Amino acid sequence: MAQFFIGVDVGTGSARAGVFDEHGILRAAAKRPITIWYEAGSIVEQSSEQIWKAVCDSVKEAVAAAEIPPAAVAGLGFDATCSLVSVTADGAPVAVGPSGDPNRNIIVWMDHRAAGEAAEINVGDHKVLRYVGGRISPEMETPKLLWLKRNLPASFAAAGHFFDLADYLTWRATGSLSRSVCTVTCKWTFLAHENRWDARYFEAIGLEELAAEGFSRIGTDIVDPGTALANGLTEQAAADLGLTVATPVGAALIDAHAGGVGTLGGAEASGHSDVRNRLAYIFGTSACSMVSSDSPVFVNGVWGPYFSAMVPGLWLTEGGQSAAGAAIDHLVTMHPASGEAQAKADAAGMPLVTWLDGQATKMCPELGRAVELAKSLHVVPEFLGNRSPHADPGARAVVAGIGLDTDISDLISLYIAGLCGIGYGLKQLLEKLAQDGIALDLIVASGGAAQSNLVRQLLADTTNLPVAIADTEEPVLLGAAMLGAVAGGHHPSLPEAMKVMSRLSKTFHPTGGAIAALHTNRYRAFELLQSADRNVRSLSLTGD
């Protein structure tokens, strides 16, 4: 019987499942929306129960669409956003916000309620911070745990387990309390290269009880991604998912890291496939940029180095932006013509940004010249701060060059300027990596916001590096499916699965010439505007 592997991806807005064959070819996929609550005070929450149901419904639909029997599924892998899940010892949800609703038991990755706690932690001389670029982010879990302890002490005490969402899903599937080295190293300060938590850090920041308990609530068994967990699917989970009891389940990955696994191992036409010369760029709601190396490289303002956090045995350096696709979505709705354009997009049955992308492509079929559509507009799209290389969560967006134009043509100019701003932010990261000894020759792009050829060409031109795309519609789901293939014994290791199950297709090369010179000047303008934002914020104009 042919074997198939399922990858499950839980993003910010949906849960998705994909069925892949042994060669990494997608047979079918399905998705379900997931609920998200936004509250004042940078609070963003979700429900683990609702997410699990969305996962199960997606898996059932994907298997049915693939027209395979459940017994043909030989492995299952999960990835998810790096969100904090709180449950009791027996799995009941625990409220994590002012609403007091236990169904809202997830603090979503983008939730910045713990910005004050993060700033407080960063004042201390904590050695673990060396492995997160020198500064911890409010998106990470220890500031959020400290916020929870201080603001909702009853919830903090009631929680028997705190999980990263990806680890919650594998626990729900198998009953295993093992955590992935990916999640706890990247978001919880676990020192994977020493295989330990730093008790002194937890004691110093005010989470001493977690250390005193031997870290039992956040993980004592840390394993590599793809490690087979427990005895596979439990009876209850198998029934929920419509799969066979004991189907192997691999230790999980953060969603962006699954995108890296699903893309970086693919061979180019030359046969070259060294992951250490490539940057995985996952362009979705946020943007993540990941590089692997044999030795640890410390880059100030950039997360990591993390040992074995994506590819076992290699060190991971991770940058990105908290808002990327979300920044572009927000940017274009600010324009006076957004309503008119939205009506046209609705009539065409597509999202606004997709419609704008198509219009820009029609206006400029020579994609390398698309930057000319931006005209006088310049955008620093840091609506949710600068994750890297400046590690400045207080940064905010800047738009310059606005006139009185109110037509759709001007909206398209703003869209292109915003995309250029995303690319220039990536260029800043690449320059910082190069200064610290990480030289790269290829960007491998994936994610929902990187699906258009226009976006890919702009990324190549703004960074002056070739941009390749994976030969799959769903690279993140593929990366998750690889975890199942390793857990099921179909491949001996994750690197081997990456070589066999992924391929690269088209590559977009920098345009060069006058277009390169234009991007050089616009990049200078980007950095000037970014600096202006920092200077303005230093003036304390709030009246405090």
Query: What residue ranges do the domains of the chain occupy?
Result: 325-428+516-536
**The pLDDT value given to residue 439:** 87
Instruction: Compute the Cα dihedral for 526, 527, 531, 537 and give only its sign.
Output: positive
Q: Is 76 within 8 Å of 233 (Cβ atoms)?
A: yes
Q: Residue 213's pLDDT is what?
A: 97
Q: What is the Cα gyration radius of the chain? A: 22
Q: What was the pLDDT predicted at 317?
A: 93
For residues 238 and 230, what is the distance between their CA atoms, to the nearest angstrom? 14
For range 208-223, the mean pLDDT: 98
Query: Quick check: 544 pLDDT over 60?
Result: no
pLDDT in tens, 484-497: 999 999 999 999 99
Residue 541 has pLDDT above 80, yes or no: no
Least confident of 114-123, 129-138, 178-187, 474-483: 129-138
Name the CATH code of domain 325-428+516-536 (choices 2.40.240.20, 3.40.50.720, 1.10.357.10, 1.20.58.2240). 1.20.58.2240
Number of H helices, E strands in the chain: 18, 21
pLDDT digits (tens, 9 = 90+) for 377-432: 999 999 989 988 888 888 999 999 999 999 999 999 999 999 999 999 999 999 99
Position 271 pLDDT exceeds 60: no
Q: Is the model's pTM score more than 0.85?
A: yes
Give percent above pLDDT 90 in the chain.
84
Which residues are paired to 76 by β-bridges?
A: 6, 249
- Cβ pair 461, 513 in contact under 8 A: no
* Candidate from 67-81, 234-248, 350-364, 438-452 with smallest mean pLDDT: 438-452
Q: What is the mean pLDDT of residues 100-110?
A: 96
* 336-343: average pLDDT: 97
Rounded Cα–Cα distance for residues 1 and 404 (Å)? 65
Count CB atoms within 10 A of the CB of residue 350.
14
Phi-psi region of 351 (alpha: psi -120 to 50; beta: other; left: phi over 0): beta
State how far the alpha carbon of 223 is from the alpha carbons of 142, 184, 309, 379, in Å. Answer: 20, 10, 10, 42
To which H or E segment does residue 209 belong? helix 208-212
Structure tokens, 151:
């603001």
Give the Cβ contact number of residue 25 at 10 Å.
14
